[in-house]
Structure formats: structure tokens, C-alpha cells
Structure 1
Amino acid sequence: MHGSNITEKLDILIVDDVKENLFALTELLKTENINILEAQSGNEALELMVVHDFSVALVDIQMPGMNGFELAEFMRGTKKTKNIPIIFVTATANDEKYAFKGYESGAVDFLRKPLDPHVVKSKVKVFLEMHQNKKELEKQVEALNIIRDKLEQANRAREEFMAIATHELKTPLTVLKLQAQNRQRSLEKGSLSAFTPEKLIKMFDSDSKQILRLNRLIDDMLDVSRISSGQLTMNFEDCDLSLLISEVYEGQLMLFKAAGVHIEMNSCESIIGRWDKLRIGQVITNLLTNAIRYGDGKPVKIHVRKGDEHAVVTVEDHGIGIAEENVERIFQRFERATGTEANGLGLGLYIVNQIIEAHDGFINVKSHLGAGSIFTVHLSLNL
């Protein structure tokens, strides 16, 4: 058996009622790549087959009680054992009827006594390598099935993404188109009363909101594409997190006022670390925007503090909250923050989570329906 291509330990079963024969075959076939189990009867052999995956079975035909042919018939009738190759060992003279009965009962080959060591090793080696090849093929099929499942999952995700993106992109475009058509009709009719300073301010404000919504949708689509291809790059630099969040807060004041939401900010003097300012600003903006969107018009709190290994930012609202069964999945792609209808691609929190993980940090949320949500971001101070 030396020189075999077998790479993992395989089980062989030897069945013979004579101990000396078992010993002789075991010594002949024994190598470090083979685990040999012995049985002195058909019943004992069947018990071993229940718990072992045998590559080949060498079965003596002439045994008291259950002979080799009967054992083979039992093996062929059971799912777990029906595919085990059986090599019959016999001292009977070469007889065609005898051989036919052996093959009919499930034999793949015969070994005739007195045994030729070279023939025994060669035949057993063939079936061991066949078993090994079968195992390798099964692994390849399993790997292909995994790849197929992943491709199907990716295809479903792509189709879902395209459906959501198409719907979400059409909405602001439709609004802009209708508004443009209304203004054109007013101009064609010479109705200049539709363009008073007050009405123009409202028009520009409405247009800005729709354009901003389009920009956010496109940015989210680009970010999720970069994440999927592993190209979401980070530009780490030394910066003050407290100052960064204050800048985001100042930049969002008009949005807060327009939504009628009071923002309470509490931060320590300075937290210096290496972060991507643009991406962390994106994280805070997303969390504050969600707090306003789902905060039911109630005050929102943002708190910044320095821990031992992390800078910690919490954004707390007192709005509609998130159902318990949805808390674990809101950071997945295409998931909305609540069970209600909401605008957007359902990518915001997914992108937030990816950015935070790229900063060697993590985010979690505590929430209950009707009781608001608390998002907590932990950013590593040791990048």
C-alpha cells in the first residue's frame, strides 16, 4: 500500500470467522493511511457499518451463521452500506456459477486463497483511491452548490436593489417633473402671480429637498457598490471627534429647524483619534437624520464621551422605535429602520455599519416600539 495517493485516513472492514485470517490480512494491508476494523461474523460486521464509513469490505464467503453472500445482500438492502465495495475472499475453486452468485449478491471482485500479497494490495488500493476520488468529488459538488447559492442570493439582492432603486429614484424625479410642468403652464398663461418672492422661495426649497434626496440616493448606491467590490476606501487622519460632530451638528441646524426638532448636544472638550472625517461625518449625519425622521418630532440627544479604548457617540430619540424582531437586521442591506413605510434604499444603516467596522469599531441599538431608539457608536482610539 506504500506510494498510494490517499491523503486522508480511510476505513477498511475485514470479515472472517478465523482470527488467523483476520490477523494475516490486517498485517498485509496495514499502513498509516488506513484504519482497519475486524469482524468475526456477519452481525458484528453490520454493527460496525452503522458507525463507520468504509471504503471497501473484504468478506470471507464461508462463515458459520450468516455467510458472505447473505451479508452482502443485507448490505445492499441498506442505504448507508449499499455502496460499499465488497471483495469476497474464498478458497473455493474457480466456478462460474459460484462467481455469478457472488457478483449477483453485490461483489465487485474476488480474492482467491492462497492470497497473493501483491494482488491483494493492488486491488484494495484501487477501491481506496476510488473512495477518495468520490469524497473529493462530493466536496467539489458541495463547493459548487455553495457558489451557486451565493450567486442566486447575489442575483436576488441585485434584483431587489434595482426594484427599490428604481422606485426611490423615480419619486423625486416625478416631483421635479410635475413642478416644472406646473411652472411652465403658469408662464404660458402669463400667470405671474405664481412667481411671487414668497412662492419662489417655496419652489426653490422644494427643489432643493428633491435634489438633496436624489444626491443621497446616488451616494448610497455608489457606497454600497464600493463596499460590495471591496473598494470603500478610508482616508485616516488625526482629528478631533468632538469638533467634527459639532461641525456636523451646525451643518444640520437648518434641517432640524425645518423639521421642528430640538437637538440637545453634550460632548467633552476634545477626543483626538485617527478617523476618516468625511466618513464619520456621514455616520453622524445618517444617525441624526434617522432620529429626526423616526423621532416623532420629539427632542433628540447626541452625546460624545471618551472611553478607555473607544470614543463613544450616542444618538437618542423618543420616537416610534423599532420592533424587537427587527433590531438585529436593521444593519443589513435594504432593511428599513422601522416596520413602517419609509423613503430611501434601506442602505443607510448598512453603510454606517460598514464604515464603523472599517474604523475597528462597532455599533449597537436599544429600542422598543413607541419608546424611541438609542444608537451607540464605538470608534477605536488605537488605529
Structure 2
Amino acid sequence: MHRSSFPASSKLPDVGTTIFTRMSLLAEQHQAINLAQGFPEFDCSPELQQLVEKYLRQGKNQYAPMAGVMALREAIAQKVFEGCGTEYHPESEITITSGATEALYVAITTVVHPGDEVIVFEPAYDSYVPAIELCGGKPVYIRLDPQYKSIDWSFVRSKISGKTRAMIVNTPHNPTGNVWTVDDLNELAKIAEMHDLLVISDEVYEHIIFDNRKHVSASSVAALVERTFVCGSFGKTFHITGWKVGYCLAPKHMTTEFRKIHQYLVFSVVTPFQYAIAEYLSDPDHYLSLGAFYQRKRNLFNEAIMGIGFNFEPSAGSFFQNVSYGSLSDENDLILAERLTSEAGVASIPMSPFYNGYSDFRVLRFCFAKHDDTLLRGAERLHKVVW
């Protein structure tokens, strides 16, 4: 039988199985405690589940509008207005997406053309660069330490060229846990205005922020609002990562172009979930209490791993804690992460895959979005490691 030949050249030749899949499979193989992949171990609110059932039974089971259920877009508009004082029109400036990953992909695809350069701060979440490359764009890296305290904005300026089209930012940051300040966003705005750049802002951990810090959204900076795609998600906020419901905020003319791609990628997002989330958002405490919830878990885990010999600063946001093991071992991070999984029964994520090329800072990332008992058992096992 004749078979058509598959193109010999890959569109993503450097992309293989993600480190998240790799470490989770290894954790399953060794029955290890999985503090690697970033998803909550606990279920979502029973109230939210009941709302889904309510809308299922009401027959909200057909296609949603391409841009999303209006009730959810209106709820997001109200939430953003209350949080940062910026008005987004539900009809023309808010789009419901299949998780933040789709929102990010569509935003990148909307603005990046062959030959365009895109500024990427690394360590970077792994979906950014493949999307840039699929569009024929070129990522330009701003390399930061895994536990960076500040950004050298003069260095960022030195990376801007006549080909620079956009910048991708992420706060609270995965995987570092860093939180950008007002000064950071203002510097970003100055650069974007000066060079007429578009911005794609990944803000999925917006409500997971600690120690009285405040999330500064690109939506709250007037000079950024007019040139930014703000990508958010309910997955991390409401412990529903499997629902894949996200959204994108952008000015009308940018949203028009965004939706041209969104409609042919997924068209619409699961309908009853949208109605359920819209109603659930009516009580702001459902998301405003999230920071305190995760701060307690961060503190529990950090106190439990004290004395091992890790060096770390408490995470400022997200549900990840990075630790440096440089004083304990000379092993590279991937080898150590695999050894801890197989020998100690605790899975983590090495930092090097978040960088372009190999960069071993001897840092591991642990996810503390787990039951207290899971965190304590994981810490107990780490204390028994023979370094």
C-alpha cells in the first residue's frame, strides 16, 4: 500500500516531551509524591460543582457564542474594574478561551509575523517560544536568575531592535514565584511606547500572591492597556485546571484580530462551565481569599524543609517554591530531580528546561498546591536524602 510521505523537516525540531510530563510519568513509575507538575491536589468548591450541575440541567449544553457566554464576559469586566479600575467592554474587548494556553497562543499568533522578534524573559513557561517559532518569529531572551530580585531594564532596552514586535511578560511568575512591581510595569510601558511594541501579559496566578504584596496587572497601567493582551485563567484560581477556561482582555481593534484566529482554533469553550463560573464570580471572596490559602501552604512546606540545607527565599507568588541545592550537591538539576524521584520518592521540576540552552543554576521547583499531609510527607522524605 502506498503511503504519503510525511515532511522530513519538523516545524518544532527542538521540542520533545515536556519536563512536566516527563517528571510526572517518573513520579507515577516510582509511586513518588508528585510536587512537580503545577496542579492542585484538592478538588474545587462543592458550590461551583453544584452550579455546573444546575446549568447542565438547564440545558446549557450547546455551543457557546464564539467570544464566550456574555454573563461570564460581564462578570470578568466587573471583576477587572473593581480590581484595577479599567473598563473593558464585554462585547468587544473580552474573549473566553480554552485556558490561558490558548489565549497566549492566539495572542502570539495574532501579532507575530515571519522575521519578527519577541522579547522573552527567562526562565519562561514552555508554551511561549514554540508559539513564536511556529509563526516564523524569533525569541530574544532576557536571562534572569531563577530567584531574581529585580530586572535590569537598561539591558532589556539593549535587546530591542528594529525587528522587535512584542514582549511577553508573566507576573506572578512561573517558575520563579517573583512578582513584578509598579516600577517594573511602568518601565515596561515606557519601552513599549518608545518602540511601539505590543505586550502579551500572562497573569494566570494573579490572585496567588503573598505577604501583603499586590498584583500589578498590565490592565492597571493606562499606557499598557492600549497595547496589551492580558491573558488570565480560572484554572489556578478555582482549582479547576481540567476545565480549561481562560480569557483574554484587549482593546477592540486587537480583540477583533484575536478572534479571527480563536474562532478557527477552538471556536468556543464548554458552555455550562462558563455559566457556572459567571455566577460563582458574584462573590469576590471566592478569589480574594486565595492568597491567604496558599500562603499558609507555602509557609507549611518551607518550615517543613528547613534544616535540609536548601537555600531559598519564600515565594512571592504562584504556588511554586524554588530551592537552591548548591551547598548539598554538584549534580545537575535534571539528574538530581530524577534521583530524588526514584530514590527519595519526591518529584520536583528542574529549572534548566525553562531556559534556552542548558543553564544549571542548581535549583529545583516544588509545587505546594497539595494537601498538607502530602507536603509534610514530601518534606519528611527529603530530610532522609543522602546527599
Q: Which has the larger radius of gyration?
A: 1
- Comparing both structures, which one devotes a greater share of its residues to strand? 1
Tell me the TM-score normalized by structure 1. 0.24
Tell me the TM-score normalized by structure 2. 0.24
- Comparing both structures, which one devotes a greater share of its residues to helix? 1
